[in-house]
Structure 1
Amino acid sequence: MSENISAEDDAQLSRWAFGRASSPAEQARADLAAAELHRRAVVERERSGLAAERDAVAARTLAAERDERDEALNSDAESSWTDEELGRRRRMRVTGIVGVVSAVIALGAIVEVQRQPDSDPLAIFDRPATQLDQEWADRLSQDPALVVTAGPRVIEVRGNLDVIAARISTVPDGRSTPYDAYCLYLGLVLEGGGWSLSADCTYPDRFEEAGLSSTISASVEGDGFDNVVWGPIGAPRVERNVPNEVADDNRNLVEWMMQPNYIAQARANPLENVDEPERLLAGPKLANDVKVVAGEDLTVEVFLLAGAGERREPDLCIHVQHPAAEPATSCRDLSTAERNGLGLIMQIAGEPWIVSISDNGSVLADRSNASVTGEGL
């Protein structure tokens, strides 16, 4: 039986991790729960190493040659990519080549550029699937919330623990959108054929800027930890015995939406509150907690829509329902929502309430002096 522990709260994970295990399966789950607790405490490490001297002309020349060669070799493989995804992929290739050129120029040996590994972080999906890749694809297909749009590809094997890279659809019908999540999974194969998953995911803009990092386990080589790092330059790789650095991870609502389980599956029609489902890029995702207002539960969900008309920037929307109120929806352009937050004012049982959602998916509800129903904040 499969078990995705990523959606469990810290209290439950702690009970599994530190409680008494009476069977090998429970011990395996305890180990995975401990790893998940640590992952939540470890933030993405700041990316550095691109501060070397840059030669823009050489970088552009190499990038152009690389793109022409890739387009000739991979035209069939890339036919399924959208124009926006192809643009992202080429930008990441150029970024990678600039970084490699900078390091090589500092050594005075530009010819070494041609010998460097592929800097494209998505090149891992170009290789044929192995038997182990297919086994994980079959396991993931058992969960209707995990529709894989690229991969999966296993990048590290440690006994019965596999580290897996994949891209996952973030909409209920499983189609691919520009906001497919980049995910690193820790997959544990249990005795008897069961398996468990722990995941860390991010959205494309964040991946292109900072990449994705997840802790595998404590290192056997020292006091640090072994982390898997993917992007923004290069294939997924394991960094061993890395110090435990705790800092601000700068997460926002979009990052929260990327974490499993992101789809509002409790309803028969998860899109019933989305007025223009053809614009849906991610979500809807239900809030982590439930607030009681006027003796009844608030239902709050968030979703991301493609920009309408000439606007390219997406809209981030909040939808709120309460038995004693008319349902209300408010949308803001993504940059404004990330900067100022997302919420609305609605009349509940004859009183105005401000309802908003925090960056970690928690619901905030307070009485308001306003008198406008359903007004966005």
Structure 2
Amino acid sequence: MLVSLQLGSLIAPAYACGCGAMVVNRDSRVEVARETSAVGWDGSTEQIVMQLSVRGNAPDAAWIMPVPHRATVELGDAALFTELRAITAPVHEDRHYFWPRDEDWPFRGSDDGAGDRAAAPGAAAPVDVVGRERLGPFDVARLTATDPEALEGWLRENGFELPDRLATALRPYVEQKWEYVAVRLAPEKRGAPLSGTLEPLRLRFASDRLVYPMRLSELATTPQTLDLYVLADHRMEPSGAIGGRPPKVAYAGRVDPAKEPYEALAAVTGDKPVFVTAIDQYFPSPERIDGDHELRATAEDTPYRTVVYRDTLLTWGGMPVWLLVPLGGAVAVVVALLLVARARRRRPVAPPPPVFTPPPLR
């Protein structure tokens, strides 16, 4: 069982977010302030648990998620995200340095340290609603679509417009005969704007590979950040950068969720130990994103953990150790001089040579 977690600060156009797309009516706006997704795969079935935090003035919105095969949808468990963040959190340690820096005395008069440095079968009709259910505050429709225009028609019938750029971005999924999960998001209180953290949704569908849809992020107009957490039998890595900077590992290690305990994670993995890999990636130019993330096992299960250091000046007895160097040197010089003086006092004084008296002349 694999689980990955995407945590991104995605303040962008309403139709651009890391996994899926958000659509609102022409006179409204909504921003995805945070997106948290847990993606799992057992070799044949993939699952995505997604939770969105949104803000804006839209009374409702439509969220569209492309999937390679027909999906089932249910409410997810928000506790899963809390546990995954706790597992992969960095450790904090003190690190000492010897010589004073700009923030230390005598430069700035303080002994304080510098602080923390720190992823279908085709449908006969252009659009086919293959399932619809009410889950908490969500109206969920599961769709198939053979062209972006058909999907646009469904959105229009439900009160939304499909932006031109989004229709173009969806075309690769239509050509691959992927399906969609379309969710109408609405605030719990009628008349209120759509805002806050929404309940998580859990999608399941057949897949012969672990794929996390990222292609729609190319629509974003601001840089994107991807924090990917993977739970598997082995350490995992993306197969490519898909238009961003090279992914970086922030954590890698084996975890037994039954022993900690992490109940929500154990429910996903079946109480089995898993290898956790946390990967960070930055997309300074989202328009360069050219595909979806695929994950694969690395050659070795090398553990790794991010350490956040708090640098502090090395002291002894409350005094900076570097001060002891000149003081110690001065003390050593004084002691040496005293020893020399003492040695001289104890040295026996040689008697003066005898005075030669010449014999008298005769």
Q: Same fold (TM over 0.5)?
A: no
More helix as a share of residues: 1
Structure 1 or 2, whichever has the larger Rg, is 2
More strand as a share of residues: 2
TM-score when normalising by structure 2: 0.22
Relative contact order (alpha carbons < 8 A, sep ≥ 6): 1 or 2 greater? 2
TM-score when normalising by structure 1: 0.22
